[in-house]
Amino acid sequence: MVQPSNIHIENDFLLCVSCGESGVPIIAPAGAHLKASCAKCGKYIKFISQGGESMLYFGKYRGKTIAEVVKTDPAYLHWLLEQPGIKTKIKETIHKMLTPDGGV
């Protein structure tokens, strides 16, 4: 298992929804980004974006960067902002991407 030296994990721990394990996940490269899998049951947990590009790791645009979706389907991001259960940090990022001038 190759562990990239420059892993950037936003969460202190990652919770596996399959088995409930919260611990150090298995990190593997997935394209330009990283994929975290449960060390216990091996199930996919989340994508971890690298290089400053914020990526969606759920829903129909899973694996796409927010910047891409802003261009192709901004209505989806507006809808996402209204949904409960979306992490505040992600909402803040989406909001920033939708209003690059810091406007509103």
- Rounded to a whole number, what is the distance in angstroms from the first to the last CA of the chain? 46
The answer to whether 36 contacts Zn ion (rule: CB under 5 A) is: no
The answer to whether 19 contacts Zn ion (rule: CB under 5 A) is: yes
Size of interface with Zn ion, in residues (CB under 5 A): 8
Window of 21-29, 57-65, 73-81, 83-91 that interacts with Zn ion by CB under 5 A: 21-29
Among the listed residues 7, 24, 32, 41, the single contact to Zn ion using CB under 5 A: 41
What the block records as the tokens of 30 is 């997935």
Tell me the CA distances in angstroms from 52 to 8, 91, 101, one per residue in order: 10, 16, 18
The answer to whether 21 contacts Zn ion (rule: CB under 5 A) is: yes
Among the listed residues 11, 15, 22, 40, the single contact to Zn ion using CB under 5 A: 40
* Other C-beta atoms lying within 10 Å of the C-beta of residue 64: 17
Binding footprint of Zn ion on the chain (CB under 5 A): 16, 18-19, 21, 38, 40-41, 43
